Structure 1
Amino acid sequence: MNHLLIVGLGNPGKKYEHNRHNIGFLILDAFVKSQGESWKENKKYSESLITRDNYKIHLVKPLEYMNLSGKAVQTFAQLYKIPATNIIVVQDEVDLPFGKIKNKIGGGTAGHNGLKDIVEKIGSSDFHRLRFGVGKPEKGQMEVADYVLQNFSEEERKEFDALLSESVKKLDEWLKTTLNELKKGSAA
């Protein structure tokens, strides 16, 4: 059986639940719910599992703080021999305006501590990213680190359901595309 890994980034605990930095958790929660699945928790991560086309797809929310996200990714990548190219990380992105959702493969970490730790722990930046735009504060208004640890605004929350649905759709598309490419590759 082959394996894929979908990781949502965030910080554990009620205090951070609706922060911009936790959009990865929120999107993964919506995705797991759309699959009719639920979470199993241990101290280090929450996990859910779905199977498609003879592939096990591990859905993971690291439950250590953002800057330690790489530990859970490394655990799954090593345990199930999942190459970086078969991993997608769902993250907040300050370099995109609020509500803009983009897929990207590889690249730098742009100061994102969760991504930095993942690259460090798995030794590669070739994983896919689902980047959810959270925007950034006006120059001189506040530090980006403080901004991402704030809750979404009232205005932003109005668009939330539609944006979560769009994000779930994009994860589904990634899954279909990746599975198709892997099937083609194994048939060659």
Structure 2
Amino acid sequence: MKCIVGLGNPGGKYVGTRHNIGWEVTAELSRRGGAPAGKSRFDAITREVVLKGVPVILLEPQTFMNLSGRSVGQIAKFYKMSPADFLIVCDDLNLPLGKLRVRAGGSSGGQKGLADILQVLGTDAVPRLRLGVGRPPGTMDAAAYVLAQFRKDERIEVDLAVATAADAAEVWLADGVDSAMNRFNVSSDQK
């Protein structure tokens, strides 16, 4: 059993925001897997699917971003999952819009939902898939920026990035984190 965790905030006002791009990826994976309606458990919405022959739980914590570890900790304990069984999908201010970065571990890079998950699991060796949302313009506050919706002119690029991120998640499931990194990470000269 594997678990793909899309990070986001619950509530209609957060739909389509930069911070909720992780949920857009789990929604795409849910569509691909023909998932049934989600269930409310583990302080999250969960959907069980089989992708690339692997049973997987798609998890969307409903605790707000900064407490995402609560859901992940509950599901890890219930299913006796190790940190390597998770793929955390989240936004990243430090990547250009639409770019992806897969990592086997490392710091949270300032992403508070990811930081909470690492703290709850007690390790930074948790696979993650970051989607670039770009930097805030001018002097705009970073928190306000990630809670803002994507502009209409960004939506085509975002939709493509979500589909590509779902592809990367499927490669992670089928072939592991190293294969996903090799196929989907951008080099610094591609930024």
Q: What is the TM-score with the length of structure 1 in the denominator?
A: 0.87
Comparing 39-48 and 164-173, the one that deviates more? 39-48
Q: Which residue of 2 aligns with 1:158?
A: 156
* Deviation at residue 31 of structure 1 after TM alignment: 0.8
Mapping of residues 29-178 of structure 1, within 5 Å = 29-42=27-40, 44-51=43-50, 55-139=54-138, 141-178=139-176
SS in 1 for 2:176: helix
* Deviation at residue 124 of structure 1 after TM alignment: 1.2
The one-character-per-residue Cα deviations of 1:98-145 (angstroms, maximum 9, x if unpaired) are 000121111111221101110111111111111100011145x21111
Comparing 170-179 and 61-70, the one that deviates more? 170-179
- 2 CA distance for matches of 1:149 and 1:54? 35
Aligned residues: 177
SS in 2 for 1:159: helix
Q: Does 1:24 align with 2:18?
A: no
- 2 CA distance for matches of 1:33 and 1:5? 16
- 2 CA distance for matches of 1:165 and 1:155? 17
**Fraction of identical pairs, as percent:** 34
User: What is the RMSD computed on CA atoms of the aligned residues?
Assistant: 1.9
Matched residue type, 1:42? S
The one-character-per-residue Cα deviations of 1:67-98 (angstroms, maximum 9, x if unpaired) are 11001100111111111111100000111000
* Deviation at residue 55 of structure 1 after TM alignment: 5.0
Comparing 14-23 and 156-165, the one that deviates more? 156-165
- 2 CA distance for matches of 1:156 and 1:38? 30
- 2 CA distance for matches of 1:127 and 1:178? 13
- 2 CA distance for matches of 1:28 and 1:18? 13
Structure 1: unaligned runs, 5 residues or longer: 182-188
Query: Contact 1:39 / 1:46 at 8 angstroms: preserved in 2?
Result: no
Task: Say if 1:138 and 1:52 are closer, same or farther in 2 by CA, change over 3 A.
Answer: closer
